[in-house]
Structure 1
Amino acid sequence: MAKLSKKIVTAAEPAEKDYFLWDDSIPAFAVRVWPSGRKVYVIHYRSGGRMRRYTIGQHGSPWTADLAREEAIKVLARVHSGENPSDARVEERKAMTIREFSNRFLDEYVDVHLKPTTQSEYKRAVDLFIVPKFGTWRMADISRADVSEFNGDMRQIPYQANRTLGVLSKMFSLADLWGIRTDGLNPCRGVQRYKEEKRERYLTQEEYARLGATLDETEDMPEAAWAIRLLVLTGCRLREIQTLQWSHVFFDQSELRLPDSKTGAKIVQIGQAAINVIKSIPRLEDNPYVITGRKKGGYLTDLQKPWRRIRKAAGLNDVRIHDLRHSFASDALEMGADLTMIGRMLGHSDIKTTARYAHLKRENVRLSTNLVSEKISAALLGR
């Protein structure tokens, strides 16, 4: 590797995993490139018989390659004199604020380990709730009582409160792992989460008819109409349809082969009605996606806004997009599919997730039991 320069560091492209570019003038000096694109200057040195890593700072103002190299020389001089610069850093870490830690949390954990939809949820919790409340607080100073008060202030939005508490808890777990909190305590542990009411909404045959008629009239946003039809006819998750590419569609096998989903790669079996919808969609040569967006080569990123307009026109104001998936499962159960089959159709990784539909199955069993008992009762009466 050549001597690190602004040109070399700027040109370094992020990869699937983090990697180091080493400076040939100072072998212990390098820049670490994260998958998020973040670049950090570091030094590797030995102290007390162990290899240690000292972080100088992130590439950009004020740290250029030249300034970082000068700092590396100073730090290595302290190492050669018998000091361990990392000891001083322990105290610095204890002084790290939530705002400072959240940047590292998003770069090194969220962007690296989580799927895009989950990344968005985490970033929303951090940007809208955690940083506005605790941004200037030191990580080491936040107590369970502080978190409990914060959680109580969000009682009007219990679902978001629970998601935010989960994100905050993960932040403190990593703070312990990264040596930023050294007390071994997670102040989120023991804070009571709110009870969430599982909302169940399924479309009736009459509501399906109203939705279909509205989609037929949605001429000014055909991409949204196609997406809604595919959600209704496949039971797929929203993002699975949004990011569906033509290369994932196998008409002869009646399959969608999704390389990635909430539960990993999966195959979705589709019916002829869904196939007909897909075949009716114009295929753009410069766009790999089935449901295209306004940006060239991209997919339709926002379906919530057109869905609000569509559901209002159809008189379905209380129906969420995810309820279309629930309705697909409900109809499958009514037609006799068992929970294991429903789980495969929806791509559930755990049968417990599918079990939420068990009460619908029980209703079918109740009706069938009633028919059988009526038949036997009639036989006993000689009818």
Structure 2
Amino acid sequence: MTKKRLTKKVVDNLVAKERDYVEWCGALAGFGCRVRKSGTKTFIAMYRIGGRNAPVKRVTIGPYGKLTVEEARSMAGEVLAKARLGEDVAEIKAKERAQLTMTQLCDEYLEHGCDLKKASTIATDKGRIEGHIKPLLGTKQIGKIKRTDIQKFLRDVATGKTARDKKTGKFGRSIIKGGKGTATRTVRLLGGILSYAVQQGYIETNPRTGVKLYPDNKGQRFLSEEELQRLGDTMREAETIGLPWIFNEGKKTKHRPKIEENRREIISPHAVAAVRLILLTGCRVGEILKLRWNEVDFERGLLHLPDSKTGAKPVVLAAPALEVLSTLPRTDDYVISGAIPGKPRSDLKRPWQRICNHAKLEGVRLHDLRHTYASVGAMSGMGLGVVGKLLGHQTPETTAQYSHFADDPLRRASETIGGSIAAALAGGNSSNVIDLTQHKKGS
């Protein structure tokens, strides 16, 4: 089939697919429009110098929108004309790009190399770029960065060379921490940025390759059965009689309540419910805090999350999670009500810290509850693929396929994990596990 001439109408009608592809122009050989999975459209020129067996060279002309089709065609025509005369524009551009500074490369990467990343991930990347990469490597030309520079960068971030705590404005502060974990994660990002430079032809090899990183133990913590029992006891105490006050030694005592029962703080039932839901579903903290009631499907036992780290996804609810949801007061559009009506609760830092202190849980983050959910599933003999689907690590199923969850391994796995966790939270009393059918909508 003969290719059409690239026109505005043709380019406008190009749609994103599962993989990147190029729509070539039928009027100018070697001129095309590359369509990314994200939908971004960029004009390119492709040619060979030295015969049919010579390597293919590609030159990026520019993005559609900044360039019209005709402007891009004219520029591609010039590149292809030079190639016929033996002038390799791609090689010339690569040499020029190798003189880019690391700051310039980072800025280009954030603009053009993050199409598939979520906004929250890009924000984290920006923080690491501005806080560590630019201060230490910003002025260095990317073509001159060596493996030894990356190794030194790793050590400098680990030892706190870029750490700072600076006042910003009247009330704000800019806090940047160093440490081995931060160093490892920042070097991984740096490697990704340099990989982008390799893909663009700016440099031939990635100097990050071969650099040994510090062990990144982030996310390895999960709760034992005994810790889960302590957590369950503490949460029941927190939402009923309250947790005992923690007094600062040496502070004045005359204003403290004289009666013992008045020296307790009752934690919000919504905050306690959020902790339970994270633990019983394996959801991320933000997914639970932003959860709306219209996303809870009691009939099918699902959460329909419109957005998550991996995109829209369903979350299978075990009976204990449905029990938490069905008994929680509805005071807002959001399941976990915040201080400001109509807005989600921003975090759970204070109640979680109070719960951890009382339950004597050392170094446990809220995200560790997600790891606990996964570990219970893995130790119960379930396949990692099943546990991964429950956690949203794979592509979500479409809405039309939700009906089969009632009888498939995901439903059984979710019930087993939820039942095991609920029993531990209840101190081993499995009688608290509720049948799914009791929570059908309207019952």
TM-score, with structure 1 as normaliser? 0.62
Q: How does 1:16-165 map to 2 (within 5 A)?
A: 16-20=18-22, 26=28, 28-36=30-38, 38-47=40-49, 48-49=51-52, 51-59=56-64, 63-102=67-106, 105=109, 110-112=114-116, 121-122=124-125, 124-155=127-158, 156-165=178-187
Distance (Å, rounded) in 1 between the aligned partners of 2:365 and 2:207: 35
Letter of the 2:278 counterpart: L
Q: Which runs of 5+ in 2 are unaligned?
A: 159-177, 243-264, 394-443
- The structural deviation recorded for 1:170 is 3.5
1:353 is matched with which residue? none
One-letter amino acid of the structure 2 residue matched with residue 311 of structure 1: W
Does the C-alpha gap of structure 1 residues 145 and 80 become closer, same or farther in structure 2, counting only changes over 3 Å? closer
Deviations 1:2-51 (A, max 9, x none): 6645x986887755543445556645433334344544222233433155
Is 1:251–1:275's contact at 8 Å kept on the other side of the alignment?
Answer: no
What corresponds to 2:280 in structure 1? Answer: 233
Report the Cα distance in structure 1 between the residues aligned to 2:57 and 2:382, rounded to whole angstroms: 52
The alignment status of 1:322 with 2:367, answered yes or no, reads yes
Q: Distance in 1 between matches of 2:179 and 2:189?
A: 16
- The alpha-carbon distance between structure 1 residues 175 and 319, as it changes in their structure 2 partners (threshold 3 A), is same
Distance 1:149 1:33, change over 3 A: same
Corresponding position of 2:260 = none
Correspondences of 1:189-204 after superposition (within 5 Å): 189-193=210-214, 196=217, 202=227, 204=230
Query: Is this contact kept in 2: 1:269–1:345, CA < 8 A?
Result: no
State the AA in 1 paired with 2:179: I
**Contact 2:109–2:193 (8 Å) recurs in 1:** yes
Give the superposition deviation at 1:141: 0.7
Shift in alpha-carbon separation, 1:256–1:145, aligned structure 2, 3 A: same
Distance 2:383 2:31 in 1: 55
Picking from 297, 310, 318, the partner of 2:351 is 310
- Offset at residue 190 of structure 1 (A): 3.3
Per the TM alignment, residue 276 of structure 1 is displaced from its structure 2 partner at its CA by 4.6
| Aligned partner of residue 340 in structure 1, secondary structure | coil
- Contact in 2 for aligned 1:56/1:71 (Cα 8 Å): yes
Are the equivalent residues in 2 in contact too, given 1:19–1:34 (CA < 8 A)? yes
Q: Alignment partner of 2:207: what SS? A: coil
Secondary structure in 2 matching 1:111: coil
**1:37–1:227 Cα change, 3 Å:** farther
Identify if the C-alpha distance between structure 1 residues 75 and 269 changes in structure 2 by more than 3 Å, giving closer, same or farther. Answer: same
Q: Which amino acid aligns with 2:347?
A: P
**Alignment-mate amino acid for residue 209 of structure 1:** R
Deviation string for 1:122-173 (max 9, x for gaps)? 4543454324432342222112222222212212422111111122233444
**Residues 178 and 291 of structure 1: is their aligned pair in 2 closer, same or farther, counting only changes over 3 Å?**
farther
1:268-309 deviation per Cα after TM superposition (whole angstroms, max 9, x unaligned) = 45124534515857699xx9x977999xxx995xx6x43124
Deviations 1:89-120 (A, max 9, x none): 332342243344445655776533x6777666
Greater percentage in helix: 1
How do residues 251-330 of structure 1 correspond to structure 2 at under 5 angstroms?
A: 251=298, 254=301, 268=316, 270-277=318-325, 305-311=346-352, 316=357, 319-325=364-370
Residues 257 and 268, structure 1, Cα contact 8 Å, conserved in 2 = no
The 3 A distance-change label for structure 1 pair 89 and 307 is same
SS of the residue corresponding to residue 44 of structure 1 reads strand
Residue 20 of structure 2 aligns with an amino acid whose one-letter code is D
Distance 2:383 2:326 in 1: 23
1:209 maps to 236
**Which of residues 168, 186, 211 in structure 1 aligns to 2:207?**
186
Q: CA deviation at 1:225?
A: 6.3
Residue by residue over 1:164-189, the C-alpha shift from the partner in whole angstroms, topping out at 9 and shown as x without a partner, is 1122233444544554322x463452
Partners in 2 of 1:79 and 1:161 — Cα distance? 44
- Secondary structure of 2:136's partner? helix
Any idea what SS the aligned residue of 2:184 has? helix
How much is the aligned-residue C-alpha RMSD, in angstroms? 5.1
- Supply the distance in 2 between the matched residues of 1:135 and 1:59 (Cα, whole angstroms): 29
- Alpha-carbon distance, 1:238 to partner: 3.1
Q: Distance in 2 between matches of 1:34 and 1:329?
A: 33
Give unmatched runs, 5+ long, in structure 1: 350-383
How many residues end up aligned between the 2 structures?
330
SS at match of 1:45: strand
